[in-house]
Amino acid sequence: MGCVFGKCCCYCRSENESGDDGREGRVGVQRIHDQETIQMSQEVFIPSHDLKLEYAFHTRRGFYPNSPERQNQDCLCIKTHLRANPNCHFFGVFDGHGQFGDQCSNFVRDRLVQILASEAEEETKEEDPVKLYRSAFLATNIELHESYIDDSLSGTTAITVLIVGDTLYVANVGDSRAVLAVCRGDSIVAEDLSCDQTPFRRDEYERVKCAGARVLSVDQVEGIKDPCIQNWGDEEDDDDGDPPRLWVADGMFPGTAFTRSVGDSTAETIGVTAEPEILTIKITPEHLFFIIASDGVFEFLSSQAVVDMVAKYNDPRDACSAVAAESYKLWLDNETRTDDITIIVVHIKDTGNSASVVETTRSIHIDIADGDGDANTTAAASISMLSERGGPPSSETDVFPKSAPTN
């Protein structure tokens, strides 16, 4: 597998080399056995609320002993200064699945934020961001259906956070997750910003059943367990690794363990939808950082466990690396393989007075679709914004992936 910036690693700069915008950017590339790590630091300001964001990301291809050439189907998008607005920022993680999952996740990564930006630009300032968010997800889904990609049995989850002023808009489709770290007295408490959309949830179960889905585990479909039992307990207690899945009425497909996704046109016929669940939350001084990650992180780690790990580190790069390493270890402790693992950590900090800071629009593109197939290849990058912790965040920024050049 190549680096996170594509086949030729063209974005990488040498250690301590300044970026084109005059700011110091740290990019390091180092080999650790058969792992490749890429790191970078940078800061993004939110002048309207005297904040800046210190963020980092880490993405790692899963270990698939029976599919050594399988590519990382996770990807991520960070777009600051959305619509050239220094107070608006977009962060997203996309977890592809199916034969063409990597193509689906990359397509959605690129188009979702582009559509969101273009739609918002056409609307007035009074337009509801939630309405625009929902519209962008549905439009992206239609475009994916109409694209060259076969998404009949492939698609992607999408967990995204749009920061507009002092507000977080969290839009979720699937079973990736966003978590907020909240300071309460002497404790740092994990507060989920999204809820996994799976048949374990009674509301989602009822919705897809009404759309014609059969909801059964693999053992139930194969006749090993009684298909009449429609109670699988709680997702956190699913120790046998055989969750309820969605099946068409007269077939052994698609078998999705989620109830919402982008793509998956066959599963749409039985209720799987690209309509996101959107949560809106005002930032307060008690909100320390938020985490966005694929389910490869949360398979064996609770939201609180991840927040506890991140809180141990001042540098979000170290936090991302630690969470990814622990997730990977727990997978191998419990399974013979691992999932792809992707995490973004974003610290929210007070600048005191950042109104005079002019930030140059910048895009960062993380694409892990191509590479050498090393099972343990790791791609990590961080962007840091250093400061003290304080009050509410601000409006828009822009960071989204662009097609990586080829040799």
Amino acid at 326: E
Would strands 378-383 and 51-60 be described as parallel, antiparallel, or unpaired?
antiparallel
Contact, 177 vs 192, CB < 8 A?
Answer: yes
DSSP conformational letter for 113: H
Give pTM, 2 decimals.
Answer: 0.79
Q: Give dist(CA 112, CA 92) in Å, integer.
A: 10
Contact, 239 vs 180, CB < 8 A?
Answer: no
> How far are the Cα atoms of 176, 220, 228 from residue 217, in angstroms, in the given order?
20, 5, 11
The dihedral built from the CA positions of residue 338, 70, 346 and 190, taken in this order, carries a sign that is: negative
pLDDT in tens, 40-90: 557 888 899 988 899 999 999 999 999 888 899 999 999 999 888 999 999
Domains of the chain as residue ranges with CATH:
42-193+277-374 (3.60.40.10), 198-257 (no CATH)
Contact, 312 vs 380, CB < 8 A?
Answer: no
* pLDDT < 70: residue spans in the chain: 1-41, 120-127, 235-240, 352-407
- Listed as own residue / partner, the contacts of 330-334 with beta carbons closer than 8 Å and 24 or more positions apart are 330/299, 330/300, 330/301, 331/62, 331/63, 331/296, 331/299, 331/300, 332/63, 333/300, 334/300
